Structure 1
């Protein structure tokens, strides 16, 4: 998606989860929980200005994404930078991810906005990635378990 005034793509995904805002916040910020539904532990103290890293839990310890916490207002809003090429020779401005957690009675609307994407290739990748990760998060919070297969391992659907 683009807003028509800029060539920088933005991606927005909205899902509804039967959980409290506090449960969703914990699922976004607890390294053990992110490891369960994402296959990566998101590690930080989640304070504005702090670093965060997206570390694989496959035994390699590799860090695939790094960034900085821009804003943390538990349990409502988390804003982070998202740098998926931290070791690149030509560094680029990181993209920005905003998690907006809005409670309504027994459910939460979780809106993930990923902005300042550097190119269409990254837009394509996250357009497959965010729905898979958030489906796994939703399943974990609603049933106590993740999906039986990693949804990001599915082959792309028909366009």
Structure 2
């Protein structure tokens, strides 16, 4: 990602900037801190597309409760995503970790989403992160953000093929 690291960090932690590529909402930047992520995928790009049928129930947006596990600005942010919905089953917590490392005028950003035990959910999450991070890159590069849903669907198909054996 284009740097400096503080700029990329601000897109992870500041509601207005985070809302341009992932989800808006307040966040307490400390271990044990609470956050609320309000996802509105239709607002991430000026290109408007219909919501795919399987996501229509969430078309108006989704709010996720977050608990910050570790915070070491501007290099590490780890959080529990409360109640990740397991297809056909109970809600489970999963974890997301962002690791940032300066590399010249760029920033290496590693995102790890762990404790996802459902294959269908894993595929959607993988495609979702790929799409959200592409939109983050668009914002940081000063490009018009790509359309969310068609990009997401393409990545979902790609991951379904890559992870066939799981």
Smaller-chain TM-score range? 0.7 to 0.9
Residues 126 and 156 of structure 2 are in contact (CA less than 8 Å); yes or no, is this contact kept in structure 1?
A: no
Q: Which residue of structure 2 aligns with residue 26 of structure 1?
A: 10
Residues 39 and 62 of structure 2 are in contact (CA less than 8 Å); yes or no, is this contact kept in structure 1?
A: yes
Give me the TM-score of the superposition, normalised by structure 2. 0.72
Q: Which residue of structure 1 aligns with residue 34 of structure 2?
A: 51
Structure 2 unaligned spans of 5+:
44-59, 162-166
Residues 49 and 70 of structure 1 are in contact (CA less than 8 Å); yes or no, is this contact kept in structure 2?
A: yes
Q: Which residue of structure 1 aligns with residue 107 of structure 2?
A: 108
Decide which structure has greater helix share: 2
CA–CA distance in 1 between the matches of 2:17 and 2:95? 22
Structure 1 unaligned spans of 5+:
1-16
The superposition leaves residues 47-104 of structure 1 with CA deviations (integer Å, 9 ceiling, x where unpaired) of 21011121134795641x222000111100000001224xx99443x11111000001
CA–CA distance in 1 between the matches of 2:99 and 2:12? 11
Shift of 1:35: 1.3
**Superposition pairs for residues 134-145 of structure 1, below 5 Å?**
134-143=133-142, 145=143
Aligned length: 138
CA–CA distance in 2 between the matches of 1:54 and 1:61? 10
Give me the TM-score of the superposition, normalised by structure 1. 0.75
Instruction: Describe the shift of the 1:62–1:127 C-alpha distance in structure 2 as closer, same or farther (beyond 3 A).
Output: closer
The superposition leaves residues 100-143 of structure 1 with CA deviations (integer Å, 9 ceiling, x where unpaired) of 00001101100001111131122111110011000110111122
Residues 41 and 56 of structure 1 are in contact (CA less than 8 Å); yes or no, is this contact kept in structure 2?
A: yes
Aligned Cα root-mean-square deviation (Å)? 2.6
